[in-house]
Amino acid sequence: MTDQRLNCIATTALLTIACSANLSSAQESNLQLVNDWSSISALTQLVRTEDWKPRTNMDRLRGGEAASVYPKIAPATVVVRTDTGHGTGFLVDADGWIVTNHHVIADAVIDPETVTQRVQIHLGRLADNGFMRVNDKGIEAVVYKSSEGKDLALLKLVGRREDAERLPTIQLAANPPLAGSPCVVIGHPAAGMLWTVREGVVSGVGSWPSDMIDVVMQRLAVVGRDRERIDRICKEAPQRQVLISSCGLNPGDSGGPIVNERAELIGVSFAIPSSDQRNGVDLAKFSYHVHLDEVRAFLQDKPEAPAIYIPTAWPAGLYSALADIDDDGRPDAMVFMADKQGSPAGIVFDLDQDSQLGLKRGAIGEVNKEDWDFEFALHHLPAPRAFYDTDNDAEIDLVLIDGDNDGETDRELRLDEGIWKVAAPMSKSLIDPKRFTDRELSKRLSELVTALPKQSFDEKKPSGLNKLNSTDGRTR
């Protein structure tokens, strides 16, 4: 089979499997919720939730903390802009180092040459009237480091003149705050103005997400396997220490600083709870912030070079189902769907069928990622990508990327002695069985691809895939 034919199959395989009879009992009631935190959290990259209805904090400032702190922190607070939205960040070093949230830069533009993430930064200046004014001309910044688990990212400005004015910074506090101590946040809320300042108190400290009250209450309300499932998901979820404050945040404030009365950093804003409109409870008075200790640990190491963007091999999807593509009575693929309607997000292949699942023919069951040993993965969302474990050592070592979604590989990432490197593609096809060192794996991938129902093949991209692309995005 030619590379062109395989590539054509790659663009249609996801819809084919999701809709074919080979998908075991593909009824809505049998789809299983993914028990993998990374797959669930990754959905934020591709599913646009209902429109935000942000609130503006209408409380009068009490005690004047915000008024005294504002001129000290506002000049060091910046706008972080991507193609799909904006967030907040702040300078921590006069050399141009900026801290923000991981989710603010998660959908940043990927430089096709360097495979690094790049955003636009807008600085501001304090005007004579005491308020900030934005500089319309953006400055490019590159992501040097990012942690999805901690929801932190470290950027650095590039292209500033050496004789440019020295950049203002926000210093980290020596000690974490106490409950009830005053605090001030600043950011760029969707309902408000740039450099909007608010004040409140530190309301609590805990671990996210396991200490969050909605998670605790859900766990207490169930028993048996349901409680075990919640415990397992919380255990797998990346934990981070957080502060809760009474400062009212809005989308757009993400990545902004929360400081004490001395204008010292005590955390980084990252979330607000949704409002319980049914019971008339306004939860927007509470805001979540990454704890000072997490920020301090994150900043201990500043990389010498920008981070190469390595996407996760697990597809982004809420639901999964096992598939027996070659109808031999054993599952050889797991399909991930973005919703119960079966909108495909990706598929992972166990080419040598050595996953120890204990499933009977036609069965669907819970499959944790540690139980599914795969050698090849194909993603449609948020962008066409193929992942290879070329030497079958249980570690992905090759990623092929179709960055412009034209059906051809643009760049490939290779793991070389523990270091990811960017290289020009060796072939144009995302599906390239020759990349495996084991001939049996190469043969098996070709067999599975050719076993897909032929009636679903189309030399042009299916309209269903185009429709899925329209949902790609993030709200903050």
Q: Mention every residue, 6+ apart, whose C-beta is less than 8 A from residue 467.
A: none
Alpha-carbon gap, residue 68 to 182, rounded angstroms = 13
Higher pLDDT, 355 or 364: 355
Judged by average pLDDT, the poorest of 191-200, 224-233, 426-435, 449-458 is: 449-458
Query: Confidence band (pLDDT; 50, 70, 90) for 276?
Result: low
CATH number, domain 182-298 = 2.40.10.10
% of the chain with per-residue pLDDT over 70: 73
Query: Confidence band (pLDDT; 50, 70, 90) for 340?
Result: low
Alpha-carbon gap, residue 10 to 22, rounded angstroms = 17
In 3-state terms, the chain is what percent helix, strand and coil (to 5)?
A: 20, 30, 50
Strand-pair partners of 100: 153
Summarize pLDDT for 54-90 with one digit per residue, the tens.
333 334 344 478 899 999 999 999 999 998 889 999 9
Residue 227 pLDDT:
86
Higher pLDDT, 183 or 2: 183
| Cα→Cα distances 65→126, 185, 252, Å | 18, 11, 22
End-to-end CA distance of the chain: 45
Instruction: From 290, 236, 294, select the one nearest 267 (Cα to Cα).
Output: 290
Q: Answer yes or no: are the C-beta atoms of 114 and 422 closer than 8 Å.
A: yes
Higher pLDDT, 199 or 214: 199
Q: Answer yes or no: are the C-beta atoms of 56 and 191 closer than 8 Å.
A: yes
Alpha-carbon gap, residue 368 to 376, rounded angstroms = 17
Residue 77 pLDDT:
97
Supply the pTM of this predicted model: 0.66
Q: How many CA atoms lie within 13 A of 437 on its CB side?
A: 7
Token couple for 238: 């990346």
Which amino acid type is present at position 349?
Answer: F
Q: In 10 A of CB 345, how many CB atoms?
A: 28
Instruction: From 227, 257, 249, 265, select the one nearest 80 (Cα to Cα).
Output: 257
Residue 253 pLDDT:
94
Please compute the mean of the pLDDT values over residues 391-413 and round it to a whole number. 88
Q: Answer yes or no: are the C-beta atoms of 379 and 312 closer than 8 Å.
A: no
Residue 213 pLDDT:
80
**Fold agreement (65-157, 182-298):** yes
Please compute the mean of the pLDDT values over residues 243-256 and round it to a whole number. 92
Summarize pLDDT for 157-209 with one digit per residue, the tens.
997 766 578 899 999 999 999 999 999 999 999 877 899 999 999 999 998 87
Query: Confidence band (pLDDT; 50, 70, 90) for 435?
Result: very high
Please compute the mean of the pLDDT values over residues 256-266 and round it to a whole number. 97
Please compute the mean of the pLDDT values over residues 212-220 and round it to a whole number. 83
Residue 427 pLDDT:
86
- 333: pLDDT strictly greater than 80: yes
CATH level 3 topology of 65-157: Thrombin, subunit H (2.40.10)
- The residue extents of the domains of the chain are 3-46+316-469, 65-157, 182-298
Summarize pLDDT for 148-159 with one digit per residue, the tens.
889 999 999 997
Burial group, residue 121, by CB count within 10 angstroms (0-12, 13-18, 19+):
buried
Q: Answer yes or no: are the C-beta atoms of 120 and 112 closer than 8 Å.
A: no
% of the chain with per-residue pLDDT over 90: 40
- 375: pLDDT strictly greater than 50: yes
Calculate the dihedral angle through the C-alpha atoms of 363, 368, 369, 374, rounding to the nearest 10 degrees.
-20
- 456: pLDDT strictly greater than 50: no
Please compute the mean of the pLDDT values over residues 35-47 and round it to a whole number. 40
- 119: pLDDT strictly greater than 50: yes
Query: Confidence band (pLDDT; 50, 70, 90) for 283?
Result: low
3-state secondary structure of 422: strand
Q: Indicate the average pLDDT of the chain.
A: 77
Alpha-carbon gap, residue 398 to 81, rounded angstroms = 30
Please compute the mean of the pLDDT values over residues 374-390 and round it to a whole number. 88
Alpha-carbon gap, residue 384 to 256, rounded angstroms = 32
Instruction: From 88, 471, 85, 50, select the one nearest 275 (Cα to Cα).
Output: 50
Token couple for 320: 């999964």
Q: Mention every residue, 6+ apart, whose C-beta is less than 8 A from residue 352.
A: 373, 375, 392, 440, 441, 444
Q: Mention every residue, 6+ apart, whose C-beta is less than 8 A from residue 428.
A: 3, 7, 408, 409
- 385: pLDDT strictly greater than 50: yes
Alpha-carbon gap, residue 379 to 405, rounded angstroms = 12
Query: Could you tell me where the DSSP H helices lie in 117-269?
Result: 213-220, 224-236
Strand-pair partners of 458: none
| Cα→Cα distances 114→14, 45, 118, Å | 29, 21, 10
